[in-house]
Amino acid sequence: MKKIGILILLSFCFIGKVQAEELAPNSESAILLEVSTGKVLYEKNADTKLAPASMTKVMSMLLIMEAIDSGKISFEDEVIISDTASSMGGSQIFLQTGEKYKVHELLKGIAVASGNDAVVAMAEKVSGSVSAFVEKMNEKAKELGLKNTHFDNPHGLESKTHYTTARDMSVMAKELLKHERILEYTSLYEDYLKKPDGSSVWLVNTNRLVRFYEGVDGLKTGFTNQAGYCITTTAKRGNMRLLSVVMNAETSDLRSKDTVSMLNYGFNTYKLDLLLTKENDLGEVSIEKGKKLNTKVYLDQDITLLKKVSDAKEEYHYNLVVEPVNAPIKNGDVLGYLEVLDKGGNRIKEVNVIAKEDVPKASLWDLGIRLFEFITSGLVF
């Protein structure tokens, strides 16, 4: 590999995971992390398998958003409500067999009002049947490396073999947050669903923190007798987004209390340094046998480093590491990575670097012209 030093000095210091049981005293299990770095700031029994109740819909919404982003379905597609969907118990938005709704309307019904009928209708839309959708849920769990999660349904009603952990739920939620448009729905405190007969259903978010805690814009609550009161929450202040999970609290007030405790701790204790963005030009790399001789490279994600507000500064620098590049290349192709190094040369972090343009392979004509220009420039072979 070829290493190109980039003379940029940074400030960063190491931080450790906090073990502060008092942050979530009312919950059986909990976790708090910063989203862009994935750094766990606090955890309590985070790998204990528990029933997730309607937090299950985090995975359901993830599969729905993936289907939309892939073009399999669109926000404007119509969904015909089946007998199976309309007969769902638990929380619902009162869909009737044969009614037609747009995907975006049902997604709102899932995200805001936790409609079991809406999520079943969408499961059928995405996969053809609920069972096929649940199979996809478990496949996605394996893909994400979740070893302590198993789904029996898309809604979270009680089942003996339907379980997850706070840590696994945080991974699902972090993945869902990559689909930023979902926050347009999960951040709504209240809205209305217009029914085909002209009447409306009032949708009220069961996550009261959306209204009462600064920065909260999602994600999903849950409750059954087996699961107790659960909540997966995300909040953003400035450039830092936190994600918390609380499982098996005795009341909705206590799950909110533990969530607020964790979020307050995170926002008051840590800050996020944005070092480089995806828009920063990192320089050029040579392309062999390409229509162009070189192309600029960029990060595939922002580089952020998390530290405590009280931490002292330390200097860091970068190395750009690139493989030999042969044409053709496409926009988005990974061409190497950027290392963040400490002053002792130890690697702290690495982020992929990508091309932001297509570079086709040079034709024989292109190579001939290039050779002619080389000869006529007065250079000697």
Shared-domain flag, residues 114 and 200: yes
Domain assignment present for residue 143? The answer is yes
Domain assignment present for residue 161? The answer is yes
Name the pTM for this structure. 0.84
Domain assignment present for residue 260? The answer is no
Distance, CA of 298 to CA of 352 (rounded, Å): 9
Pair 165, 29: CB distance under 8 Å: yes
Pair 297, 336: CB distance under 8 Å: yes
54 is known as an active-site residue: yes
Domain count across the chain? 2
Domain assignment present for residue 255? The answer is no
Domain assignment present for residue 363? The answer is yes
| Residue 92: how many other CB atoms lie within 10 Å | 21
Shared-domain flag, residues 217 and 363: no
Across all residues in the chain, what is the average pLDDT? 90
Question: Which of these three, 208, 230, 249, is where a domain ends?
Answer: 249
CATH number where 221 lies: 3.40.710.10
What DSSP line would sit under 249-277, residue for residue? ESSHHHHHHHHHHHHHHHHHHEEEEEEE-
- pLDDT per residue over 225-271, tens digit each? 999 999 999 999 999 999 999 999 999 999 999 999 999 999 999 99
pLDDT above 50 for 356: yes
Domain assignment present for residue 265? The answer is no
**Residue 366 binned pLDDT confidence (cut-offs 50, 70, 90):** low
Question: Which of these three, 231, 249, 267, is where a domain ends?
Answer: 249
Domain assignment present for residue 262? The answer is no
Shared-domain flag, residues 194 and 139: yes
Shared-domain flag, residues 317 and 209: no
Shared-domain flag, residues 119 and 243: yes
Shared-domain flag, residues 165 and 314: no
91 is known as an active-site residue: no
Pair 269, 197: CB distance under 8 Å: no
| Mean pLDDT for the stretch of residues 17-22 | 54
**Residue 324 binned pLDDT confidence (cut-offs 50, 70, 90):** confident
More confident residue, 372 or 99: 99
CATH number where 326 lies: 2.60.410.10
Shared-domain flag, residues 232 and 361: no
Q: Which residues of 229-250 are buried (b: 16+ CB within 10 A; e: fewer)?
A: bbbbbbbbeeebbbbbbbbbbe
Of 57, 108, 174, 236, which residue is the catalytic one? Answer: 57
Shared-domain flag, residues 55 and 157: yes
pLDDT above 60 for 379: no
Of 29, 54, 82, 170, which residue is the catalytic one? Answer: 54
Shared-domain flag, residues 154 and 289: no
Distance, CA of 361 to CA of 291 (rounded, Å): 6
Pair 300, 353: CB distance under 8 Å: yes
Of 91, 114, 170, 261, which residue is the catalytic one? Answer: 114
Question: Which ranges of 34-88 does DSSP label H, i.e. alpha helix?
Answer: 57-69, 83-86
Note the residue count of the chain.
381
114 is known as an active-site residue: yes
Question: Which of these three, 233, 249, 265, is where a domain ends?
Answer: 249
- Determine the pLDDT at residue 284: 87
Q: Which structural domain range is residue 233 located in?
A: 27-249
Shared-domain flag, residues 244 and 314: no
**Residue 169 binned pLDDT confidence (cut-offs 50, 70, 90):** very high
Domain assignment present for residue 365? The answer is yes
CA 270 to chain centre: 20
Shared-domain flag, residues 371 and 234: no
Shared-domain flag, residues 73 and 7: no
pLDDT above 80 for 93: yes
